[in-house]
Every structure is written in structure tokens, then in C-alpha cells.
Amino acid sequence: MRRLELDSELAELEDMPLAQLRETWSKHLDKPVPKVSAALLRLALAWELQARVLGGHSRKTIQVLEQTARGNTRTRSVQPGMRLTREWNGILHTVTVDDEGDIRWNEKTWKSLSAVARAITGTRWSGPAFFGLKTRVAA
């Protein structure tokens, strides 16, 4: 399906009765039809069609949604201007995030906080957990 086809398909959804919405769902998607109202099915179908053509959620968004659904932890995002510090084996390590969002440590640019944490410790770490950006949610 192309963008033009998508636009016309979405326009058609607006006036479809529930039975036709269910047919359209079955035609386009390899999932069971949800047992919801016509209005909600119309929204879900529109989302699925757009995601197929335009792309769905980013990997980052999916991670945030999954973490929120689990409800165990919360991770703050890295923001330009942040300065993160962590003591490891008696040495204070400082990471900065520049205006473009690049992560800097030891006068080098790193692709992620996890890469920096791995370089510091020699083992695999969650960078956000290592630098205190990932915290447990109080029960």
C-alpha cells in the first residue's frame, strides 16, 4: 500500500459500519479482530494501516511504553547539557552531554551511556542504571 492508497483507505474508514470495519481488519491484518466498538476499531485499524505504510513506533518509544507497562522502573532521558558523575573503584568519572546530544567521556565521543559504563567497568552495564538515570518506582 502506498501513501495515496493509505489516504483513501483512511477516508473510507470514517463511514464504515462495524461489520465492514471487521472485514477490513481481517483483510489487512493477520490478527484476530478485537471485540471493541466501531469507533475504537476504526482508530485501531487506522493506526495499523498507517504503521504499516509510514512505520510504527521507534525502538525508543517501544522501550518506554514497555517499561511504563511493567511499572518497576523509570528511566530519565539523556538531555543536552547534562553532566553525569559516578565513582568507580575510587575514581570519579564525569560524562557530559553536549548541545547536539553527543555523549562525551575522557575527551572522546561515545555512542551510548552503556558503552561508557562498559569502558569504565570492563563488564556489560545498563548505562542509565550505572549513572543513576534508571530508578525503581516506589510501590
Give the whole-angstrom CA distance, residue 72 versus residue 76. Answer: 14
pTM (predicted TM-score): 0.56
Q: Lowest mean pLDDT: which of 4-8, 14-18, 129-133?
A: 4-8
Cell of 119: 569502558
Asked whether the predicted pLDDT for residue 139 surpasses 70, the reply is: no
For residue 39, with 0-12 CB atoms within 10 Å meaning exposed, 13-18 middle and 19 or more buried, which class applies? exposed
Residue pLDDT, tens place only, 16-35: 999 999 999 999 888 999 99
Asked whether the predicted pLDDT for residue 114 surpasses 90, the reply is: yes
At 65 the pLDDT is 83
Asked whether the predicted pLDDT for residue 85 surpasses 70, the reply is: yes
Asked whether the predicted pLDDT for residue 72 surpasses 90, the reply is: no
At 123 the pLDDT is 95
At 134 the pLDDT is 87
Give the whole-angstrom CA distance, residue 132 versus residue 8. Answer: 48
Computed over every residue of the chain, the mean pLDDT equals 90
Give the whole-angstrom CA distance, residue 90 versus residue 52. Answer: 51
Instruction: Transcribe the chain into DSSP letters.
Output: --HHHHHHHHHHHTT--HHHHHHHHHHH-SSPPP---HHHHHHHHHHHHHHHHH----HHHHHHHHHHHH-SEEEPPP-TT-EEEEEETTEEEEEEE-TT--EEETTEEES-HHHHHHHHHSS---HHHHTT-EEEPP-
Mean pLDDT value across residues 98-116: 94
Indicate the domain borders of the chain: 3-54, 75-136
